[in-house]
Amino acid sequence: MAKAITLHIEGMTCTSCAEHVKQALQNVPGVRSASVSYAQRQAEIEADTGVNVTPLVAAVAALGYRARLADTPNKPSGLFDKALGWLGGDMKHEGGEQALHVVVIGSGAAAMAAALKAVEQGARVTLIERGTIGGTCVNVGCVPSKIMIRAAHIAHLRRESPFDEGITAAPPVILRERLLAQQQGRVEELRHAKYEGILEGTPAITMLRGEARFKDGHTLTVQLHEGGEREISFDRCLIATGASPAVPPIRGIKETPFWTSSEALAAETIPEHLIVLGGSVVGLELGQAFRRLGARVTVLELMDHLLPIEDEDISAGLRAALEAEGVVVHTGFKTEQVRYEDRTPPEFQITGNGMTVRGDRLLVATGRRPNTDALGLEDIGIKRLRNGAIEVNDRLETSVPNVYAAGDCTNLPQFVYVAAAGGTRAAINMMGGDAWLDLSAMPAVVFTDPQIATVGVNERTARERGIEVDTRTLTLDNVPRALANFDTRGFIKLVIEEGTRRLIGVQAVAPEAGELIQAAALAIRARMTVEDLADQLFPYLTMVEGLKLAAQTFRKDVKQLSCCAG
């Protein structure tokens, strides 16, 4: 024998929601079939006679929606109806308050961190994505770029290393199509494991594919990719739409098939001569990688030194390393025009400073612009900077109540770990908590070789802020690990506050500098003095031991110490 049960479902926002509800109902023991209509907000269920409504309501509530018998009132009255309410039929918490509906725009690091934290704290979440799930980092940023950089590093070591007198070098054959397949395979694996799979396994998060725009301070309209438009009401909203490569307003550039970092990482062949427009992080990382994979590379930077936000000694150290590998660097280069000739091989012509640089590929790496133009932010009064970045405070709040923002679309530093930390803290605050983002000891790494790793303030910034500082710079020929590696390129620089002698900044130019910078960040976070740092135990023959040695230079000449003097 079978019986029919009709449930009224509230909280669905699209036909995909209805499909999720249908699958959940069909998984309830004793249910023979179920059909769910998004338009009618109703579920028709055929079940065994022994099945009651309680597990059905519970299955719907587990997805973050509200369910009740179609012929019952909205509010539970009797004991049975109260039981439905406890199971989610009225979507309330123990204290009786209505569960919050949090909408997250985007699906990258900030978005996912916020969505998962909000669900953990009891919210019902709708996540809206207009493009590929996972955002920049896993798809076209950190993950593929570091894979390519590592492959290029291996190619470089096979061609040239400090041990060539005892280990015969052999020029490698670069099979770009195989490297690209390996790279993209790992990207797809991580995207599924860290994003798609988690979304599939978290029924309290409803996924919408489409373009979101604010209608008012509590409503979004979504142009769905499948067609049609949905209106979504929310209690809280997080904007986490990321950023895209910025293209400078140079005459002729938009009429050419230039690369951004996305196209460069997906390139199926290695160019003969790659011109890199921009001498900051992305341009230098990819420029060196392409050089090591066999391309000639020329870097054109508008400012008077590479990595303009860093001290000039860092720029000089990296420039020397790049030029030693054959990278041509022009700083102070004012690009006037870009031309392109579609022939075999193709030719880009970059004119500026009275000269013309020619190459078969052009990589534009002049920064990233926040993806905020299509959101209708001006319609609800959200403040943005001139570059489109959303202004947020240290609680990730925008200028509009109940609307938060995190990640690369904001005025915060564009690092994936800052985005994720911001998303988590935004979710806590959206759910009534009090969390703030402290960036005073934020480490940063440039994945060139040697790497650039920094934390805290550099000497120039400290002096601009009126802080009296003392500094020491330890060259790597004083670090035993570097000597053992026969690679002493670079230095470690410490910045301390005069008077307190507290460590406030560290900059390192060194192979694998990124592996030592977190120790420096912890020392700054712990408000250690330089003497405290010098007195710590560091394992011998590690690069991080260089921090201890650099700290010791404030009191003694480390050249006069034995190998592992304490």
Whether the CB-CB separation of 58 and 27 falls below 8 Å is answered with no
Please, which residues bridge with residue 245 across strands?
368
HEC secondary structure over 483-502: HHHCCCCCEEEEEEECCCCE
88-121: buried (b, 16+ CB within 10 Å) or exposed (e) per residue? bbbbeeeeeeebbbbbbbbbbbbbbbbbbbbbee
CA distance to 359, 360, 363, per residue, from 345 (Å): 9, 7, 16
Catalytic residue flag (residue 17)? yes
Pick the catalytic residue: 38, 112, 137, 340? 137
345 class by beta-carbon count within 10 Å (0-12 exposed, 13-18 middle, 19+ buried): exposed
Catalytic residue flag (residue 543)? no
d(CA 183, CA 191): 12
Phi, psi of 232, deg, nearest 5: -115, 120
Tell me 272's DSSP state. Answer: S
CA max distance for the chain? 92
Pick the catalytic residue: 17, 112, 431, 442? 17
Pairing of strands 219-224, 229-233: antiparallel
In the numeric block, which tokens belong to residue 421?
């930390």
Catalytic residue flag (residue 65)? yes
- Rama region for 233: left / alpha / beta (φ>0; ψ in -120 to 50; rest): beta
Catalytic residue flag (residue 12)? yes
Crossing angle of helices 281-292 and 142-159, in 10° steps, is 40
The count of C-alpha atoms lying within 13 angstroms of the C-alpha of 507, restricted to the half-sphere facing its C-beta, is 21
Whether the CB-CB separation of 131 and 138 falls below 8 Å is answered with no
In the numeric block, which tokens belong to residue 145?
């770029």
Pick the catalytic residue: 65, 91, 431, 442? 65
Pairing of strands 31-37, 451-456: unpaired
Catalytic residue flag (residue 563)? yes
Pick the catalytic residue: 12, 91, 442, 528? 12
Catalytic residue flag (residue 195)? no
Pick the catalytic residue: 148, 409, 528, 564? 564
Phi, psi of 244, deg, nearest 5: -130, 160
d(CA 295, CA 299): 12
Pairing of strands 101-105, 236-239: parallel
Pick the catalytic residue: 1, 91, 142, 431? 142
Pick the catalytic residue: 340, 430, 543, 563? 563
Catalytic residues: 12, 14, 17, 65, 137, 142, 563-564
